[in-house]
Amino acid sequence: MPSARFAARMCALSIWPGPRTMVSLRFAVLAGFALPLSACASWGVLPSTVETTESPFQSYKSAEDAYAQVKPFVTTSKELKTRGFDPYTTPNIQVLNYLDLVPRFLPQQSMKAEDLDPAVQACLTARDQCAGWLAEPSISSKDRTGNVALDVLGFERETTSTGWKASMLLLIQNGVVVYKLWSGTPAIREVKTETKPLGPLQDLSGPAASAISGAVKP
């Protein structure tokens, strides 16, 4: 059965008077679809999308575990390659030179190089012997979670985004990891709601839109 919100909107629109019978007919057709669409609400028929930054890490925990195994001044670049951190064979790993790294560690003029970790200072000073490997794995899913009838007919669209993302920066000097930095969001959940009071006629202009807008106002 259509939701109370949907029924109220359709009722308000149905009282729109006038000779513009094509618009009225259009609403009659849309109203006819309301009941079966509402019945489909429990079937999960609304679309969803999944976005994945391809990487060896299929979860936040697996990325975190791999990062924990990296030991500064111990782990070599060759060992990194066996753990999924090879930028030349693993997708989406950036190689940063020292000029790319400076604004990351010194984003503001008020910060001074001497305030940085000694390993970072030494790496940046080494210039061409210093490189950063940046991996940013992530998985996000966007599901339309609102009322099916309101969604399909264009009155209200609710989208829930879930997933996780991580960022791992490894500084490598002369083939050895000298510094590592981690940041991430283990659990993402965002809900976005878009509402169009006029539904499919929201983008109309001129007298028709004005008349319908007046009909739905309290």
Whether residue 42 is predicted with pLDDT greater than 50 in this model: the reply is no
Average pLDDT over residues 18-46: 50
Residue with tokens 């012997």: 129
Residue 155 DSSP symbol: S
| Half-sphere CA count of 109, side-chain side, radius 13 A | 0
Average pLDDT over residues 51-63: 84
pLDDT tens-digit series, residues 196-217: 877 666 665 555 555 555 555 5
- Predicted local distance difference test score (pLDDT) of residue 140: 87
Distance, CA of 120 to CA of 108 (rounded, Å):
16
Question: CA separation (Å) from 52 to 45, 86, 163, 165, 184?
Answer: 22, 18, 10, 10, 15
Task: Write down the mean pLDDT value for the chain.
Answer: 78
In degrees and rounded to multiples of 5, residue 185 shows phi and psi of: -125, 105
Residue 146 exposed, middle or buried by CB count within 10 Å (0-12, 13-18, 19+): buried
Share of the chain above pLDDT 70, in %: 71
pLDDT tens-digit series, residues 101-152: 999 999 888 888 888 999 999 999 999 999 999 999 998 888 887 777 777 7
Residue predicted with more confidence, 11 or 89? 89
Residue 128 DSSP symbol: G
Average pLDDT over residues 41-67: 78
Residue predicted with more confidence, 15 or 58? 58
- Predicted local distance difference test score (pLDDT) of residue 77: 93
Longest Cα–Cα distance of the chain, Å, equals 81
- Predicted local distance difference test score (pLDDT) of residue 70: 95
Hey, is 3 helix, strand or coil? coil
Whether residue 22 is predicted with pLDDT greater than 50 in this model: the reply is no
Q: What are the extents of the domains in the chain?
A: 4-216
- Predicted local distance difference test score (pLDDT) of residue 204: 58
Q: What is the DSSP string of 87-114?
A: TTTSTTEEEE-HHHHHHHH--STT--GG
Strands (E), the chain: 48-53, 93-96, 130-135, 138-144, 156-173, 176-195
Per mean pLDDT, which of 22-26, 32-36, 125-129, 193-197 is the most reliable? 125-129
Residue predicted with more confidence, 152 or 73? 73
